[in-house]
Structure 1
Amino acid sequence: MRHQFRNSIKRYFFYLGGDQPQVPWIERIRSVAGAFIGLMLVLTTAKFLGELSGLDEWLMASLGASALLVFALPGSPMAQPWAVIAGNTVSALIGIATIHLVGEPLLAMPLAASLSILGMFILRCLHPPAAAVALIVVLGHVMHFRYAFFPVMVDSLLLVLAGAVYSNLTGKRYPNRPN
């Protein structure tokens, strides 16, 4: 009976994060500090550039999710510069085009997200937070294609640069290099 109980606990623990790898505390702290420093640099720079150009939009809302990939999982193919920059940018462009073509948000949202996934597949730049960019564009009724370049592309580029500097200074290789 006791053995069965222990096996049941083990089996169900899987659904409560039991499949997540153990990460040493030093790596957790390195990732968290990097995300904080990187996001502060990106947001400060983007806000300055937005004020300089007279634009209200300077922040891409899914930047936190992109930061998780860049700083906590720098070896992931979905955290590489092309995936982050192109994935976010193409998703914003697709979201904006969708809101122009489909006026009904209930249809435009899933269409924008699914087409952005297709676009990322075609361009070989899968980046999960980018699908959210397409949704954010539709939800925010963003109609200007400029938004895909600033803040989306610029924020993504700044995040990748911050990630590269931080990761390499702290002993993590980023971006991946061909062997």
Structure 2
Amino acid sequence: MRHTIEYWIKRCAFYFGGDQPFVSWPERLRSCAGAFVGLVLVFTVAKLLGDLSGIDEWLMASLGASALLVFALPGSPMAQPWAVIAGNTLSALIGISAAILVREPLLAMPLAASFSILGMFILRCLHPPAAAVALIAVLGHVVNYRYALFPVLIDSVLLVIAGAIYSNLTGKPYPNRPN
């Protein structure tokens, strides 16, 4: 059977984002502006808290991925406060434990990520960026459980608060409310 060029373009487009839903430009800009404002606020407050407490670690690198979910996909179950806060904090605790208990990073990293996923399933707080939090703890040789409290827990709470304020001010309900 002979196919047209249009058929092949449509068929191949799927593999280059053709399955992504259309998002209007105003919504794209709303999401990007929210991520910018939210992260500026979180980073500023976290840096201030770090300076006040004498702690150098005031930022978690995966916060950008969490911001994508909170600001661009506020209706997603993986962007809800429990998922963001508990998923990130649990994964930090597991990553720190793996860094302490398993000296070989090539084994500690997959253990940290996989156990954090299992823990998130058990606690019903799936948040994809949180698996990266576990890896970051191992890669950064984090061996102090304080890291799970600050910056991970505090930054996650600040992000959720910024997301709730921004989303609701711009007409997007966040967090989801039970029916």
Please indicate the TM-score interval, normalised by the length of the shorter structure. over 0.9
Report deviation, 1:5. 2.0
| 1:54 paired residue number | 54
Equivalences for 1:26-37 in 2 at 5 Å?
26-37=26-37
| TM-score, normalised by the number of residues in structure 2 | 0.98
C-alpha separation in 1, matches of 2:69 and 2:54: 31
| 2:19 paired residue number | 19
Report deviation, 1:3. 4.5
| TM-score, normalised by the number of residues in structure 1 | 0.98
C-alpha separation in 1, matches of 2:14 and 2:30: 26
C-alpha separation in 2, matches of 1:153 and 1:140: 17
Give secondary structure in 2 for the equivalent of 1:10.
helix
Kindly provide the amino acid, as one letter, of the partner of residue 107 in structure 2.
Answer: L
Give secondary structure in 2 for the equivalent of 1:165.
helix
Shift in alpha-carbon separation, 1:29–1:2, aligned structure 2, 3 A:
farther
C-alpha separation in 1, matches of 2:52 and 2:119: 32
Report deviation, 1:52. 0.3
Structure 1 unaligned runs (5+)? none
User: What are the superposed Cα offsets for residues 69-128 of structure 1, whole Å, 9 maximum, x if unpaired?
Assistant: 000000000000000000000000000001111000000000100000000000000000
Structure 2 unaligned runs (5+)? none
Aligned residues: 179
Structure 1 vs Structure 2 CA RMSD: 1.0
Report deviation, 1:159. 0.1
C-alpha separation in 1, matches of 2:90 and 2:79: 16
Please tell me whether residue 174 in structure 1 is matched to residue 174 in structure 2: yes
